Every structure is written in structure tokens, then in C-alpha cells.
Amino acid sequence: MRAFLGKPAVNLVLAGVAVLFSFNALALEGPGIPGANIANGMKIYNEGKGDTVPSCMTCHGAGGWGLDAMGAPRLAGIGYPYVVKQLSDLASGKRTPEGAGAVMVVFAGGLTPQEWRDVAGYVNTLAGPPDLSNLKELKDSGTTIGERYLGQSIVKYGIIGKVSACSSCHGYNGRGAAPLFPVIGEQKYTYLINQLNSWRAETRTNDPYAMMRKMAKNLTDEDIANIATFLATASPTTAGNTMIPVTNE
């Protein structure tokens, strides 16, 4: 049986390929982490820069695993090109977070494009033990927590007629599909909730071709809580297979 794509679908596919190649150009500029001075990135991350940019570890932790209490996301190993893009978008005003994250516009703007690459390169080398969201602690403090098995179903299979499987772009259990799609598995619960709500409300609009906005608009509050509950503790590996795909090459 032969399948045919209509013109709009073909255009979307071609656009997606163009984005993929643009990210690949960044990812393949050099071996390992292209164009990044890891030592300088580590210095900025741990010590900050002058009086305008405090140390990144203040909110994101020494290991880059984020902090639920501040809504600060995991940065460790989520994808070098993605972090560079986010810092660029923050500095240029293409991404304007709400709440505590609003300070990132100023902090990213206080760094040069080279320093974005340096910091992104450094956090992509962080591979220490995971510091996952404590869902029980969050629930005990009054935070709404979803049903893990329902979130797993959406991540793996989507919702018929509403959304595609998260894994179709972000890979198994959200472990990322470099260079275009970041790691969302083992991401901080609060951050996942905030971002899915922001995509749905279109207060965050820096997703290529509005892909995330189109998905999130069809999610209920319960769907979002379920997805975040599963992803926050989703293992990047399968039983009997401990190999994790390389995301920084």
C-alpha cells in the first residue's frame, strides 16, 4: 500500500528537514562539543560573570539537575545545541519566561554568544548521579501529582485524535533525539508542568514551527500532570540495556 502526502504535509516535512540540517551544522562543526570552551563554561557556571550574571549553580545545582522549588530545570546533558538556542532566544527576547525564570532574560543577555556555547558545552558534560524530583515530597507539600501510568501511555502512544506520542520526537522515555529535540526525561517535575502550560497558553513561542504549541493546546490539566509525573522519573534505558544514546556529538 502506497501512502501519499498532501502539499501541506510535504511542506512541513521539508521545513523540519531544514531545521534538522541547521542544527546538524552546529552539532557537526567539530568533534565532541563544537566551538565551546569547557573550562570557561565551568567558570561561569560555578562563579558567574562580573556583577550581572550570578553563578548558574545557584539555581540549577552543582550537578546541573535543577531545583523544583525555584522551577529551575535540569540542564545536565539535555543537549548542547538546544541549550545554545535557549540562551540565544532568552537574550534576544524570543523567549520570555514567567515567574522566577524571568531573570534568565537578563542573565543570558549578560553573556556573549561564545559564552552561551561555553556554558552549554559545560553543562552537556555533566553526567553525575541523577537528582530527580521527589514526587512524594511535592505531593505532601500540596503540589498536584498525576498518575504515572497514564503519563507513560501518553509519552509512548499519545492520545488518539489529540496528540502524538512524546517519544515520536523526544525518543524513548524522553531521553532526547539530538540535535533537534532535547532530553525531557528525568527533567524536573515543576519545570515540565510550567513549560507545558506555557506552550498551551502560548506564552512561550520559541518552538520550531509551533510544534509544541500544537501538541500542548490539546492537553488537559490532568494530561499535563500525568505526563510530567511519568517523565520526571522516566529511566532513559530499557531493562537489560543500559546503553544511552550519545547526545553531544
* Cα-based distances in Å from 174 to 73, 166, 185: 15, 7, 4
Per-residue pLDDT reduced to its tens digit, 113-151:
999 999 999 999 999 999 999 999 999 999 999 999 999
How many angstroms separate the CA atoms of 169 and 173, rounded? 11
Name the average pLDDT for the chain.
88
Looking at residue 34, its pLDDT comes to: 83
Looking at residue 33, its pLDDT comes to: 86
Tally Cβ neighbours within 10 Å of residue 199: 22
Q: What percentage of the chain carries pLDDT values higher than 90?
A: 80
14 DSSP β-pair partners: none
Which amino acid appears at position 132 of this protein? L
Residues in Cβ contact with 131 at an 8 Å cutoff, skipping those fewer than 6 apart: 61, 63, 65, 66
Least confident of 37-46, 56-65, 84-93, 239-248: 239-248
Question: What are the cell numbers at 111?
Answer: 553573556
Q: Do residues 232 and 192 make contact, with C-beta atoms less than 8 angstroms apart?
A: yes
Per-residue pLDDT reduced to its tens digit, 205-222:
999 999 999 999 999 999
Looking at residue 237, its pLDDT comes to: 86
Q: For the chain, percent helix, then strand, then coil, each to nearest 5?
A: 50, 5, 45
User: How many angstroms separate the first and last alpha carbons of the chain?
Assistant: 37
Work out the pLDDT band at 240, boundaries 50, 70, 90: low
Tally Cβ neighbours within 10 Å of residue 169: 18
* Cα-based distances in Å from 205 to 57, 134, 166, 242: 26, 29, 18, 35
